[in-house]
Every structure is written in structure tokens, then in C-alpha cells.
Amino acid sequence: MGLLSILIGLPVVGGLLVLAVGSRTAARLDRWLALAISLVTFVLSLALYTGFNFGTADMQFVERVAWIPAFNIEYYLGVDGISTPLILLSTFLTPMIIVAGWEVIKKHPAQYMAAFLILEGLMIGVFAALDAMLFYVFWEAMLIPMFIIIGVWGGERRVYATVKFFLYTFLGSVLMLVALVYLYLQSGSFSILDFHLLPLPSSAQLWIFLAFLVAFAVKVPMWPVHTWLPDAHVEAPTGGSVVLAAVLLKMGGYGFVRFSLPIAPDASAVLDGFMIALSLIAVVYIGFVALVQTDMKKLIAYSSIAHMGFVTLGFFLVWAILRNTSLADGMSGVQMGVTGAMVQMISHGLISGAMFLCVGVLYDRMHSRQIADYGGVVNTMPKFAALMVFFSMANAGLPGTSGFVGEFLVILASYQANFWYAFLAATTLVLGAAYTLWMVKRVVFGDIANDHVKDLQDMNRREGLLLLILAASVLALGLYPAPLIEMMEPTLVNLITHVTQSKL
Amino acid sequence: MSFIAPQFAPALPEIALAIGICVVLLADLFVSEQRKSITLWLSLATLTVAAWFAGGALPEGSQLTFSGSYVADGLARVLKLFTLLLVGVVFVYSFGYLKDRALLKGEYYLLGLFATLGMLVMISAHSMLTMYLGLELMSLALYAMVAFDRESPVAAEAAMKYFVLGAIASGVLLFGMSLIYGATATLQLDQIAAALAGEGSVTPAVLLGTAFIMVGIAFKFGAVPFHNWVPDLYHGAPTSVTLFVGTAPKLAAFAMLTRLLLTALEPVVEVWAPMLTGLGVLSLILGNVIAIAQSNIKRMLAYSTIGHVGFILIAFATGTAAGQQAALFYTIVYAIMAAAAFGTVILLSKRGYEAENIADFRGLNERSPWFAVMMLFVMVSMIGIPPFVGFFAKLNVLVALINVEQTWIAVVAVLFSVVGAFYYLRVLRYMYFETSDTVEPLVAPINIRLVLSANALAMLLLGVFSEPLLAWCGAVIGSQAF
């Protein structure tokens, strides 16, 4: 059994084990077991980094066995520079989520931990699958634990939020399923790499692109199919929000680079203006929407949508840049855009996860997410306030944090495409700072607003440790992103050369 | 002219079943009320023997007997095995339910076995007369089963509706058969096909006959617009009977579909395929949309059946081997899913209390986390979420549809399965997100617990390891000589 199979299987089997142990044991065996499993998974996943060949765009750690020969479906796993960082992000965050729910989750804690472990295995499966049907299996199966997580441990309107989340995502994915079946009938296999090489007429490419777009745009989410996200985020428990923002949204971005761009490059070239427009609307319009939110989680949710706009913008800048210049001259700019988008995905995973954890810390004490209920938190929780301000700065794209790297690269690249793209994208530096820092001002600074704030206890060691680890990784990625960029470079160069060749 | 004894070997499963029924009938007379489980075990033994003959004892390949009016082939083998298996599962689920309600009479098992015999005859029918014989044997036994609880006015009403509408449908079917017989002068299915294959042999009478036969089939499947009896029947009948009607007869209906439309009426495929597609699409739309409005789980499952039947019909209507294989796979999978769903309803019901409303699933996760997970498996399998087997059934249908460039039908089908997801999720929502006023643990006999768990786990296992069943369905469809 290969490393990737172990990374997928261990959390899933471990989750079942945690379920079997149950919540009733006195020593809280379930939590310790869940933590141990997630930590072992994380340590094992580091082997993906140490054993990674930085010099190739080929798939690595490949495992390939026939699964359902009737449809030529294979159990086909492998990773490259695009998927490895995302897998590492998933394995890094899962132990955090388990620790974050340590004492907070009172209702069925074993089921809570198990749901996140199973979800982790499925997320890794999504990023590692190279067979489209295997990918779809993981992609859809993920809905079940997420549906349960939001619905059981969520807030007041959790049922509405979780059903909306499920139906939106499900609607997007079934159309993708139709496209995948079509591609299978054309190519004779479900291998994603075969799909990449399959020549397709432009009308077929267009339909396939649109089918994928529905699936991935919902997941990213892009304006105007984003409305499920604020609801899901607000109602989800802290762990659910973290995993949703940090990993699940990235699957939409991952889908674009793994499916849409390489399978339908000509359709992508035709529709790139449309995609850029949607991305810029997400950046600018959703930025304004975030500004007026009164609920902290909702504000961060909208800020996530705006930040994910940079991801889609970076991916679809390719053709806009190449219209101005040849591939040889424009390569650096194109590469900058795509690399920026990828860095933005990882960085947003860390920062938004941290922001939701911060809100979680406050919520556990006050049971309110309303900005108006807070004020002057710095007076009673100074350590916490320092970290929250740090993450807010990172969210606003402060140089030196990881948030800066991705956004800056994408803005630079968009300048090569069109001045106005760059101009609109750069408004995020103002808007992002405005909505995040204004929230911080109202929540953290100022005089103590009420008696509840007065009684607040500062972070305990558990919470402090979590946020410090995240702060360190945000700083590390901001100051020294080279290892991440080097890991992705050969894959992205290969991707760019692939998508700029017509498949007609 | 000398009399030649027909070959009895191909009909051994039915013969064994008929002998078993006589044994059960006699034995039941001497079994006291307290020891009715003997009847259950005898019935299960009968089914096992029949299954042994159906599955292992017959030689491979297809065999005709009784002057060409009876066939034992690969399709018959797979359908019979699953029919007998499902009936056995249903008998186990029903036992406790009937006992709690003082309905535990030997007749339930006898009628069930007679209906099973009818199904087996339908599955093996190779002449229109045999088909009709099997259909009526099954239907008559089912009518009586629906009215089994004579204290219940709802059940009586359901039985009446089912009987009247069923009789009309049988009449329509018989009329269609007579028209075809008039046009081709034969009852034997392959000879009908041969007669229709000739130039100029497709007369208006044949077309009319085909249309009437279609109506009969659509009625037995419960396809829109011939579906009105389904919700009333599912709702009104005692749950153990709903369970019976909702599972194994679907396999027999599939046999009717294949034998009549493919073996006999294959030459007029251009006539019936569009009709079937229309019925299928309508069923998909109406079934899934109306199911949303139901608060009674039996009614909801009835409309969900109609939606699933839509999937089976559109796959079959592609007219390709891939489509028929997909339809066969879907039918088997659906019957297994439905058995588990109704089994859970039975599990939740207890004396004097029917878990009929979806709201009765409230707090199941508190009462029994294990069976909540089992029901979760069944529901997500019905939605079509991988890796559960319901997904592979749908995938199979999609492949068949897109292969013949009916992509728009595939899109309609997937969109309405999204609509369908909504009402299945509602069951999950009650189970997991809401708490019940009374948190009392579930009480159920160990055999129901075991069989139900196996049935629900089969959703997962048949999904992850779907290859054997897929390959089997493909092989029996491939071996049919159309």
C-alpha cells in the first residue's frame, strides 16, 4: 500500500475507530485517539514533502490498480506540485481542528471528531485522485460528513444552512458528472491525464467548461453562486468553518487547474474575459459587502469570497496576458499569475482558518458573533488581541505575511494583462484593510463595551498554542515562500505550456 | 402423434417452491400461535431450496421448455436469485411487526410465497400466456396481502383501489396481447419477433397492441401517468406488506419489460422506445417533485419509487445492451435499497405505534447511533452519493444515455435527482439534527437487527465492490439473443 493510500485510509479507518470507542469512556479516549490519528497522518504526510522530486512535473507517489473494469475506472492516485501543498494544508489543519473542539464540543464529541477525521481522508482523496470517477467519489462523499457537521453542531439556523450547502454543491457536481461521463465515452478511460490529452471540438469544450464551471464556481465560491457560503460559515461550528474556508473552498480552485483549464483550454481562452469579470466582481463588490457586515463570521466569509476571487483571477489571466505578448516573453507574467493564485490558496487556508479560530475563541466565551456585542477586548484578553490583530493584518495583505505574497503576485500579473484589471484587483488592498481592520477596531480596541467583555478570560494554553502555530506558519510563508513556489514551479510551467496549445 | 413429456428441469425452482408451499400450508395448521416462527423458518427453507435450484443446480446457458413457453436463462437466474433473497429478507423483517399487531398468521407467509411463485413464473415466461399467468398469480396474492389487516379501513381502501386498478391494467395488458396474437398468430415471444420482422408486418393492430402492452407494463411499474395507486397502496397497506410490494415485484416487472418489449416486440423498438422515454422522464419529474410535499414516510418512499422507476425506464428505452444492463442493475439495487428503507420503518414501529411520519425519525441518532448510520447509508444511496451503490446505478444509466447522445435526458435525470436529494435529506435532518422528547433505546429482535445491518451495509459494500454485480448484469444481458 502506498503512502497516499495510507494518508487517505488512516483517517477514515481512524474515524470509524473513534466512533466505535464512543463518547462514554471516562478518560475521554475518543479525543486523544482522534488527536493521535490526525497527528500521525500529519507526520506521515511530511514524507510527501521530503520525498518530493522538485525537478519534475510528472505525477509522483503514483498508485494504480483497476477498480471497476466495466467502466475502466481505476484506483489511480498521484500528486504533483499543485496537489501536494493542498494535501499538506489538509493534514496540517485537521489536528488543529480537533484541538480546537477539545472541550468546546459537548454534544456527541466522538462523532464530531470522527466526522472530521473521515472528512480529512476524503479531502486528501480529492487532491490525490487521478481517476475522474475516483475524484468524484471523494468529492461527493465529502458532502456527507460536512452536512452532518454543520447540521448537528451548528448554530440556530443550521438546518437551513446545511441543506442549502448540500443542495448547492450537489447541483454543481451532478452537471460535472455528466461532463465526466461524456469525456469517458470520448476517451475510453476515466484517467484525468487522458482527459488532458483528448482533442475536443470547440462546442464540446464549451459545454464541458460550463459544466465544470457550475461545479467549481459553487465550490470556490464565485459571485453570483456564493450565497450558500455566508450561511454555511455562520451556522457551522468553529471547526466546520475552519475546514470549509481552509480546504473545501480550495477544491474549487483545484478543480479549475486540474480539470477546466487543461481539459478545455480553448473554451477557457474564449471565456477568460467572463471569468476575469466574475473574479473582479468577487474582489470589489464582495469586498464592499463585507464592509457592512455586523456578524464577524459573515464578514470573514465574505472576505473569503473576495480572496478566492484572486485565485480565479490568477488562473484566467493567462490568455489576457498572452494577447499582449508572445509566450516566450509573457511566460514570466503568466507564471506569476498562476503561482500567485496557488500561493493565495495556501495562504488563505491558513489565514482564514486562523480568523475563524479567533472568532471561535470569542464565541466560546460570549456566545455571540455580533460585532456590536464586543468592544475593548484588548483590555481583558491582551494576548489574544495581539494574535487577532496579527491575523487581521495578514488578512488585509500586510507585507511579510503570506497574505501579501499571493495577492501581490496576482496584481503584478494582472498589470501585464490590462491596467484596469490591476487597478480593480488592487482595490482589495484598500477594501481588505478597511473591512478587516474596522472589525478589529470595533471588537478589540476601544473601551470595554459591557460587563460581559469585562469578565472575559484570556486564551488558555490550548487556544494560545493553536493560534501561535498558525501565526508562525503565516509568517514563515510570508517571509520565505520559496520552498512552496519551487515545489509548484515545474508543474505550473507544464500546465501553462499545455493550456496555451489548442486542443481543437 | 405421440405424447412427449416436456423437460421439467428448467422449472425446478418453481416446482420446488410449489411443493414447499404445500408443506408450509399443511405444517402451519399444526403450529400453535406461540410457535409461529416455525412457519417463518419453513418458508425461509423453501426459499433457500428454490434459490439453490435457481442458482446452482441448473446448467449454464438458456433452455426452452413446455413447447417453448418457458425459458431458463441467465437473466432468469439473476432475477430469481435476487427475488428469492429479497423475499427472505422481507419475511424476516415482517415477523416482529406482524407479531406485535396480532397479525401473525401463517397466511401472510403463504400468500407471500404464492406471490413469489407468480414472480418466478413471470421471470421465466416465454409466451404471453405464461406471462399473464404469472402476473395474475402474483397480483391476486398481493391484493389479499394488502387487505391482510382486516381491522384497518385504510388498508381495505388501499386493497380495493389496488384491486380495481390492477384488474383494469391486467385487462388492458391482455387486450394488447390479444391484438398482437391476432396480428402474428402466435403467443410464443421469439416467434412474435420473427413474425414482426418481416416486411410490411407492422400493422396498426400491432402498434395498438404495443401501446396497450406498454400501458400494462407502466401500470405494474407504477410509472407516471399510471402511478396513482402506488402512494395509496404504500400508505394504506401494513408496513410489512408495503415492504413486500415495494421490493421483489419490481424485479418481476423488469422481467415483464424485457421479455415482452425486447424478446417479442424488438422489431417495433422505434415505436415503444420514445413512449418509454416519455414515461420515464415524466416519472422522474413528478415522482421527485411530489415526494417533497409528503410528510408520511411511506408516501414519500412511494413517490421516490416512481422517481427511481423513471431512471430504470429511460435507461431501458435507449434500446442498447448498455441501457438494459443499466436498467437491470438499477432495478436490483433499487429493490435492495427499498428493502432496507422499509426495514428501518418497521424497526422504528412498535406495538400501537406506527413510525409513519418522517418526523418519527426524530432523534434516532440519540436512540440508536448504529441504526441512524444505517439509515444514513440507505438515504444517501438513494440520493446517489458515491461510494454507495445507488450512485453506481445512476452512473450506469448516465453512461448508457450519453452513449446514445441522449445527453439532455441525462441532464434532466441528474437535475431531478438533486430535487430528490431534498426529501431524503429531510429524513437525515430529523435523525441527526433534532432531538426526540423520549429518548428510549430501540428494542428489536436480534435477527432483524442483523439482517437490517447487513442490508444497509450492502449499500456501501455493493458500491465499493460494484464490479461483480455489474459484470454479472452485463453478462446476462449480453447472453440474451435479441
Q: Find the length of chain B.
A: 482
Task: Give how far Cα B145 sits from Cα of B63, B244, B256, B403, B432, Å.
Answer: 33, 9, 22, 42, 34
Of A167, A174, A184, the CB nearest to B414: A174
Of B391, B407, B466, the CB nearest to A178: B407
Residue A94's φ and ψ, nearest 5 degrees, are -60, -45
pLDDT at B282 over 90: yes
Chain A, nearest residue to B421 by Cα? A167
pLDDT at A80 over 70: yes
Cell 448540500, residue located? A166
- A60: helix, coil or strand? strand
The three grid cell numbers given for residue A207, joined into one nine-digit string: 459545454
Cell 500546465, residue located? A495
Say yes or no for a CB contact (<8 Å) between A69 and B467.
yes
Chain B CB within 8 Å of residue A68 CB: yes
Chain B, nearest residue to A211 by Cα? B411
For A451-455, the CB contacts below 8 A with 24+ separation are: A452/A366, A452/A373, A453/A366, A453/A374, A453/A375, A453/A376, A453/A377, A453/A379, A453/A380, A454/A380, A455/A380
Contacts of A184 in chain B (CB under 8 A): 399
Determine the Cα–Cα distance for residues A217 and A96; give it in Å rounded to an integer. Answer: 28
- A342: helix, coil or strand? helix
Say yes or no for a CB contact (<8 Å) between B467 and A147.
no
Chain B, nearest residue to A185 by Cα? B403
The three grid cell numbers given for residue A242, joined into one nine-digit string: 475552519
Average pLDDT over residues A6-27: 82
Q: Are B329 and B473 in contact (CB under 8 A)?
A: yes
Q: Are A261 and A203 in contact (CB under 8 A)?
A: no
The alpha-carbon gap from B428 to the nearest alpha carbon of chain A, in Å, equals 9
Determine the Cα–Cα distance for residues A147 and A163; give it in Å rounded to an integer. Answer: 7
Residue A208's φ and ψ, nearest 5 degrees, are -65, -45
Give the DSSP letter of residue B34.
G
Say yes or no for a CB contact (<8 Å) between A181 and B380.
no
Average pLDDT over residues B127-134: 92
Say yes or no for a CB contact (<8 Å) between B467 and A133.
no
The continuous run of DSSP H or E covering A152 comes out as helix A143-153
DSSP-H helix ranges across B30-126? 37-52, 74-100, 106-124
User: Could you tell me the maximum CA-CA distance found in chain A, to the nearest angstrom?
Assistant: 68
Q: What is the pLDDT of residue A272?
A: 87
Q: What is the pLDDT of residue B286?
A: 92
Q: What is the pLDDT of residue A419?
A: 85
Determine the Cα–Cα distance for residues B386 and A136; give it in Å rounded to an integer. Answer: 8
| Tally of CB atoms within 10 A around A329 | 12
Say yes or no for a CB contact (<8 Å) between A151 and B414.
no
The continuous run of DSSP H or E covering A62 comes out as strand A60-68
Using alpha carbons only, what angle is made at residue A357 by residues A351 and A359, rounded to the nearest 5 degrees? Answer: 105
User: Could you tell me the maximum CA-CA distance found in chain B, to the nearest angstrom?
Assistant: 77
The alpha-carbon gap from B372 to the nearest alpha carbon of chain A, in Å, equals 12
Q: Are B235 and B357 in contact (CB under 8 A)?
A: no
Average pLDDT over residues A490-498: 87
Return the percentage of chain A with pLDDT > 70, whole number.
Answer: 99
Q: What is the pLDDT of residue B351?
A: 67
Q: What is the pLDDT of residue B479?
A: 64
Task: Give how far Cα A424 sits from Cα of A223, A401, A407, B407, Å.
Answer: 16, 22, 12, 40
Determine the Cα–Cα distance for residues A239 and A357; give it in Å rounded to an integer. Answer: 8
Say yes or no for a CB contact (<8 Å) between A144 and B380.
yes
Q: Which of A345-354, A481-490, B57-66, B158-167 has the lowest mean pLDDT?
A: B57-66
Q: What is the pLDDT of residue B482?
A: 41
Amino acid, res. B175:
F
Of A137, A158, A174, the CB nearest to B417: A174
Average pLDDT over residues B195-210: 85
The alpha-carbon gap from A141 to the nearest alpha carbon of chain B, in Å, equals 6
Determine the Cα–Cα distance for residues B316 and B37; give it in Å rounded to an integer. Answer: 41
Return the percentage of chain B with pLDDT > 90, whole number.
Answer: 37
pLDDT in tens, A414-428: 888 888 888 888 888
Task: Give how far Cα B110 sits from Cα of A191, B26, B220, Å.
Answer: 52, 11, 22
The three grid cell numbers given for residue B230, joined into one nine-digit string: 402506488
Per-residue buried b or exposed e for B282-305, using 16+ beta carbons within 10 Å of the residue's own CB:
bbbbbbbbbbeebebbbbbbbbbb
Residues 6 or more apart whose CB falls under 8 angstroms from that of B30 comprise none
Q: What is the mean pLDDT of chain A?
A: 88
Chain A, nearest residue to B386 by Cα? A137
Q: What is the ipTM of this complex?
A: 0.88
Among B366, B424, B477, smallest CA distance to B76 is for B477
Q: What is the pLDDT of residue B340?
A: 92
Determine the Cα–Cα distance for residues B418 and A443; give it in Å rounded to an integer. Answer: 41
Of A137, A170, A185, the CB nearest to B418: A170
Say yes or no for a CB contact (<8 Å) between A171 and B432.
no
pLDDT at A310 over 70: yes
Of A70, A137, A177, the CB nearest to B470: A70
The alpha-carbon gap from B81 to the nearest alpha carbon of chain A, in Å, equals 22
Of B380, B399, B421, the CB nearest to A71: B399
Determine the Cα–Cα distance for residues A143 and A133; give it in Å rounded to an integer. Answer: 16
Determine the Cα–Cα distance for residues B135 and B249; give it in Å rounded to an integer. Answer: 10
Q: What is the mean pLDDT of chain B?
A: 87
Of A108, A151, A181, the CB nearest to B429: A151
Among B294, B434, B454, smallest CA distance to B370 is for B454
Residues 6 or more apart whose CB falls under 8 angstroms from that of B44 comprise B88, B91, B92
Q: Phi-psi bin for A261: left (phi > 0), alpha (psi -120 to 50), beta?
A: alpha
Average pLDDT over residues B450-479: 85
The alpha-carbon gap from B391 to the nearest alpha carbon of chain A, in Å, equals 9
Among B324, B217, B221, B214, smallest CA distance to B275 is for B214
Chain B, nearest residue to A143 by Cα? B385
Q: Are A432 and A352 in contact (CB under 8 A)?
A: no
The three grid cell numbers given for residue A402, joined into one nine-digit string: 503570506
Average pLDDT over residues A288-312: 89
Using alpha carbons only, what angle is made at residue A132 by residues A129 and A134, rounded to the nearest 5 degrees? Answer: 55
pLDDT at A318 over 50: yes
Return the percentage of chain B with pLDDT > 70, whole number.
Answer: 97
Q: For the whole model, what pTM was predicted?
A: 0.91
What are the residue boundaries of the structural domains of chain B, listed by start? 9-478
Say yes or no for a CB contact (<8 Å) between B395 and A177.
yes
Contacts of B395 in chain A (CB under 8 A): 71, 133, 177, 181
Q: What is the pLDDT of residue A54?
A: 85
pLDDT at B5 over 90: no
Say yes or no for a CB contact (<8 Å) between A71 and B471.
no
Determine the Cα–Cα distance for residues B277 and B287; give it in Å rounded to an integer. Answer: 15
Confidence of residue B1 (pLDDT cuts 50, 70, 90): low
The alpha-carbon gap from A109 to the nearest alpha carbon of chain B, in Å, equals 13
Residue A79's φ and ψ, nearest 5 degrees, are -130, 155
The continuous run of DSSP H or E covering B64 comes out as strand B63-65
Examine residue A201 and say whether the peptide bond preceding it is cis (omega within 30 degrees of 0): no
Cell 500521525, residue located? A40
Q: Find the length of chain A.
A: 504
Torsion angle (degrees, nearest 10) of CA A318, A320, A322, A323: 160
pLDDT in tens, B85-121: 999 999 998 888 888 887 788 888 999 999 999 999 9
Determine the Cα–Cα distance for residues B22 and A312; give it in Å rounded to an integer. Answer: 72
Say yes or no for a CB contact (<8 Å) between B387 and A137.
yes
Confidence of residue B481 (pLDDT cuts 50, 70, 90): very low
Amino acid, res. B372:
A
pLDDT in tens, B297-348: 889 999 999 999 999 999 999 988 888 999 999 999 999 999 999 988 888 8
Determine the Cα–Cα distance for residues B139 and B135; give it in Å rounded to an integer. Answer: 6
Average pLDDT over residues A346-356: 91
* CA atoms in the 13 A half-sphere facing the CB of B402: 22
Determine the Cα–Cα distance for residues B197 and B388; give it in Å rounded to an integer. Answer: 42
Of A67, A147, A185, the CB nearest to B399: A185
Per-residue buried b or exposed e for A235-251, using 16+ beta carbons within 10 Å of the residue's own CB:
bbbbbbbbbbbbbbbbb
Burial class (CB in 10 A: 0-12, 13-18, 19+), A233: buried
Determine the Cα–Cα distance for residues B359 and B355; give it in Å rounded to an integer. Answer: 8
Contacts of A158 in chain B (CB under 8 A): 433
Q: What is the pLDDT of residue B38?
A: 86
Cell 510528472, residue located? A58
pLDDT in tens, A21-63: 876 666 678 888 888 999 999 999 888 888 888 888 888 888 8
The alpha-carbon gap from A100 to the nearest alpha carbon of chain B, in Å, equals 22
pLDDT at B441 over 80: no
Amino acid, res. A77:
L
Determine the Cα–Cα distance for residues B309 and B317; give it in Å rounded to an integer. Answer: 12
The alpha-carbon gap from B432 to the nearest alpha carbon of chain A, in Å, equals 6
Contacts of A140 in chain B (CB under 8 A): 385-386, 391
- What angle separates helix B12-29 from helix B106-124, to the nearest 10 degrees? 170
Of B386, B415, B432, the CB nearest to A141: B386
Determine the Cα–Cα distance for residues B109 and B114; give it in Å rounded to an integer. Answer: 9
The alpha-carbon gap from A8 to the nearest alpha carbon of chain B, in Å, equals 14
